[in-house]
Amino acid sequence: MNLRPLTTLTIGALVAGALATTGHAQAPVRPAATPKWLDAYREPASRLIGAAMVDNFAWQRLATLTDTIGNRLSGTPELDRAIEWATAEMKKDGLENVHTEPVTVPHWVRGRESAEIVEPAHHQIAMLGLGDSVGTPAGGIQAEAIVVRNYQELEAAGSRVRGRIVVYNVPFTDYDRTRPYRSDGPSRAAQLGALGSLVRAIGPAGLRLPHTGGLNYSANAPKIPAAAISSEDADRLQRMSDRGDRIVLRLQMEAHFDPDASSANVVGEIRGREKPDEFVVIGGHIDSWDVGAGASDDGGGIVATWEALRLMKNLGLRPRRTVRVVLWTNEENGGRGGQAYRDAHKAELAKTVMMLEADSGLFRPVSIAVTANDTARNTIRTITSLLKNIEADAVTPGGGGSDIGPSVAAGNIPAVSYEGTGDYFLLHHTNADTVDKIAPVDVSRAAAAIAVVSYVVADMPQRLGVSAE
Amino acid sequence: MNLRPLTTLTIGALVAGALATTGHAQAPVRPAATPKWLDAYREPASRLIGAAMVDNFAWQRLATLTDTIGNRLSGTPELDRAIEWATAEMKKDGLENVHTEPVTVPHWVRGRESAEIVEPAHHQIAMLGLGDSVGTPAGGIQAEAIVVRNYQELEAAGSRVRGRIVVYNVPFTDYDRTRPYRSDGPSRAAQLGALGSLVRAIGPAGLRLPHTGGLNYSANAPKIPAAAISSEDADRLQRMSDRGDRIVLRLQMEAHFDPDASSANVVGEIRGREKPDEFVVIGGHIDSWDVGAGASDDGGGIVATWEALRLMKNLGLRPRRTVRVVLWTNEENGGRGGQAYRDAHKAELAKTVMMLEADSGLFRPVSIAVTANDTARNTIRTITSLLKNIEADAVTPGGGGSDIGPSVAAGNIPAVSYEGTGDYFLLHHTNADTVDKIAPVDVSRAAAAIAVVSYVVADMPQRLGVSAE
């Protein structure tokens, strides 16, 4: 165990805070701004928060997953083992209707890989091939580099790109702004005749820590091998380029696709006591890239959402509607789990009152992001007032997630996400995405917050988004 | 180039500050506490500070060394190239008496190496063999692990250590307290019959970043192979041990010694105008471990001390005594450069008035550490009052360094070191010890501070440590 300093203290303070808010000896104090219907949920919320905060069960479960299975790329035995393990554990938890739903997934294989500077002086580059990249010919490719800071510089280089390996040295600002150089950069370079593409890792500058991640080849360019390199190596190449050095790189990648494989989404439920055919669906993705341990991306998300159901079960809280947890497969390189869920549950989408995804880290500060109509958003705000003392009461726009995306779009379903970005993009898709980076209290907080929001939305008389009056 | 945010601004502010202190238009203001003799040095100090702060020459030199030669372990062609390059560059700078002094050095070779968890579930460990370690047999060793947090736990394990691989999971507190587990841990484990030794990397928790470094085999135990592992992997092994898992590890290392090799200390001087046979000797070590680029350890130290002489030369400042820069070889695994210097310069030690080493990083906050009599310490304090505006005026005890150590001890010479520890131990002996971590202004500040202290000590009428009155 690797309790961060103050974690135990923090938990103590949080529990004390939660109990103070919901103290048994005193009459509940209703904040002026919250409607009367919420009062019925103060007691179950206090029990969910207390049960989540009193121990580190969820963090320990995450540690077990990431230590004894590790990372879980689509098509690997590790993902199969994780699916079997989660199914068995859900049954042990006493969740209902626990089952898997088959999904056929791609199976990309990294193989051995390396990148090095050959001229002006030999240097081994810290690299990770990009997910779904093609490999190099068996002997690798060796070519002069051209270093660019953005697409403008690439386009300006024009015909000088032909026969070169393009190095995108794009400083990280945020994920949405820099990711396109990873996903589209290889084909943009190939359109100009490049032989390979290297991209400065999409994340804050680390410690020789490349970030992998998927690419999207476009149809109108040859597929060229592509990899991420550490910020240090990108800086080094930039300095060499600025000095006018002739830079020669060598890239070797065995990356390729094996035939599609069988995989599955894992499903567990607390069946609704009055409207079992209406659903609150929550979850994250069980697959990960083939590096690190997939702890923040997305072991934490699946464990925290799953824990929400375990807490309800343990406390005997059975809401009006069904709460379902789904551990989607193949989020990282295909999204086929989310698509398969939409297709398999088409008939239920109209009766799904909310979907929630946790795939943005569990770090502080936390927010509950919502994409829904004003009524729904206000209701979520009302519910999260119960989460003030565990610092999870911020509600922001932009709720969603790649696994819930297909269903949300097809069913026009209110979309919620648990957002705790913090160090997420420092660790994202790297070998350092391990459980030691996650404080136990952060998993407990996420489980508590998700449990309270899911339980109340599943239980309240009015459907989320429909006015109570 | 990778200017950190604010670096340019910082430089501007620092230069402005330095100029304000030494402004030509105003009569110099002597702080009440400083003696009159210092006044003669305000003008040369202002010129040294201004020249150091006006550009990034020293940082660019460090970038060139680390980019185009990279790391420089004793016995490697890279160290040879660095020595040739430094000698040629010193001559170009116009330093005097530039030459090399031969040193025979050990040649440890890392070879291929790996460590993995075999049971309870396969996992590749991020590792670096410890410097001077023996290798494993060709097929590697595979054995059950025993995880301990300190020597007490090791001793308590007693006969259970036999036939195992010991994992020292010692949380990093500071270098002096945790380093013994790296240097002495292998033999302590071997005395109890261990087959191999792994140590949690000696440094703050990183991002899958092991720290290498030397070990010392004791004569009364078999030499067993030893490596450092990342903090994440040490945590993982601790958790597995805490769960009661049977842990099986596999260690493969090709580490060995090749025959001793020829190397050299690099020497350059500004000859003294009155007492050329009295010396102020400053420097750092030109060798490094075989990982990263040896930027903070100790490229920064050699470039900053060398720059002090270049600045004097460019400004036409020739002090009373000789100022000599030495780039010592083989600090990391033998210390033979420092010993050879002591032996080759035996006759000069009595006439060496101060030795200064820069081998503790150039990060802020900075201090000038001094081991000398009170008179000398007070004089250094007086001189560093000129460095207040570049935030290099703190004087602390404990000056010294492994390269100057042998001479300082033999000649009872006042020992000074430039200390800028900051992130030093996060990067120390890792693949992340690269120039991008060092702000250009920090190299300029170090060069300015070292130049001013060295120049004044070399020039002042009284010998350092002898009262002026």
Our answer to whether residue B391 is catalytic in this structure is no
- Torsions phi, psi for B70 (to 5 deg): 80, -150
Predicted local distance difference test score (pLDDT) of residue A468:
67
Give the closest residue to B342 by CA, choosing from B276, B402, B410, B287: B410
CB atoms B69 and A121 under 8 Å: yes
Please give the mean pLDDT across all residues of chain A: 93
| Whether B1 contacts B67, CB under 8 Å | no
| pLDDT confidence of residue B29 | 53
Domain ranges in chain B are: 7-107+259-459, 111-254
Residues of A in contact with B430 (CB under 8 A): 207-208
How many Å lie between the alpha carbon of A193 and the closest alpha carbon of chain B? 28
Using a CB-CB distance cutoff of 8 angstroms, which residues of chain A are in contact with residue B121?
67-70
Please name the helix (run of DSSP H) or strand (run of DSSP E) that holds residue A67, with its range, or none: helix A57-68
Contacts of residue A48, defined as CB under 8 A and 6 or more positions apart, other chains included, come to: A308, A311, A312, A315, A317, A448, A451, A452, A455
Question: What is d(CA B170, CA B173) in angstroms, rounded to the nearest whole number?
Answer: 9
Distance of alpha carbon A238 from alpha carbon B67, whole angstroms: 11
Active site residue ranges of A: 331
The pLDDT score that the predictor gives to residue A283 is 98
For chain A, what percent of residues have pLDDT higher than 90?
A: 92
**Bridge partners of residue A298, in order along the sequence:** none
B466 CB burial (10 A radius; 0-12, 13-18, 19+): exposed
pLDDT of the residue at A19: 38
Q: Residues near A369 by Cβ (< 8 Å), separated by ≥ 6?
A: A395, A396, A397, A398, A399, A400, A416, A417, A418, A419
Find tokens 């003008």 and name the residue.
Answer: B43
Residues in chain A, total: 469
> Where does the pLDDT of residue A30 fall: very low under 50, low under 70, confident under 90, or very high at 90 and above?
low
Q: What is the mean pLDDT of residues A328-347?
A: 98
For the stretch B334-351, pLDDT in tens is: 999 999 999 999 999 999
* C-beta atoms of B67 and A239 within 8 A: yes
Q: Which strand (E) or helix (H) includes residue A64? A: helix A57-68
DSSP 8-state symbol, B348: G
Residues lower than pLDDT 70 in chain B: 1-32, 468-469
Q: Which residue has the tokens 């051209």?
A: A146
The CATH class of A7-108+259-459 is alpha beta
In percent, how much of chain A has pLDDT > 70? 93
Q: Do B239 and A63 touch (CB under 8 A)?
A: yes
Helix (H) or strand (E) holding B342: helix B336-344
* Catalytic annotation, pick one of B232, B331, B357, B419: B331
Cα–Cα nearest to B404, from B369, B374, B446, B452: B369
Question: Which one is the CATH code of B111-254: 3.50.30.30, 3.40.50.1000, 3.40.50.850, 3.40.50.2300?
Answer: 3.50.30.30
Chain A's closest residue to B3, CA to CA, is A235
pLDDT tens digits, residue range A134-154? 999 999 999 999 999 999 999
pLDDT of residue A206: 84
ipTM for the complex shown: 0.90
Contact B436 A235 (CB under 8 A): yes
**Residues of A with Cβ-Cβ distance to B245 under 8 angstroms:** 68
What is the structure's pLDDT at B110?
Answer: 98
pLDDT tens figures, B251-281:
999 999 999 999 999 999 999 999 999 999 9
In contact, B57 and B307? CB cutoff 8 Å: yes
Q: How confident is the model at residue A10 (pLDDT cuts 50, 70, 90)?
A: very low
Helix (H) or strand (E) holding B448: helix B440-459
Distance CA A432, CA A423 (A): 11
Task: Kindly identify which residue of chain A lies nearest to residue B423, measuring between CA atoms.
Answer: A207
Chain B residues whose CB is inside 8 A of the A126 CB are 431
Cβ–Cβ below 8 Å for B67 and A431:
no
Q: Looking at the predicted structure, is the pLDDT value of residue A131 above 60?
A: yes
Closest chain A C-alpha to B291 CA, distance in angstroms: 10
Quote the radius of gyration of chain A (alpha carbons, Å): 24
**Could you confirm whether domain B7-107+259-459 is CATH 2.120.10.80?**
no
Specify the pLDDT at position A341. 98
- Are B236 and A205 a contacting pair at CB < 8 A? no
Cβ neighbours around A379 below 10 Å, total: 29
A7-108+259-459 and A111-254 have identical folds: no
Instruction: With beta carbons less than 8 A apart as the criterion, state whether A22 and A42 touch.
Output: yes
Considering only the beta carbons, identify the residue of B205, B245, B432 that sits closest to A232: B432
Tell me if residue A389 falls in helix, strand or coil: helix
* Sole residue written with tokens 């820099």: A178
Residue A318: its pLDDT value, please? 98
Q: Could you give phi then psi for residue B370, rounded to 5 degrees?
A: -130, 130
What distance in Å separates the CA atoms of residue B189 and residue B197, rounded to the nearest whole number? Answer: 7
The residues that bridge with B229 in the sheet, in sequence order, are B127, B200
Q: How far is B435 from chain A (nearest CA, A)?
A: 8
Question: Which residue on chain A is closest to B71 by alpha carbon?
Answer: A123
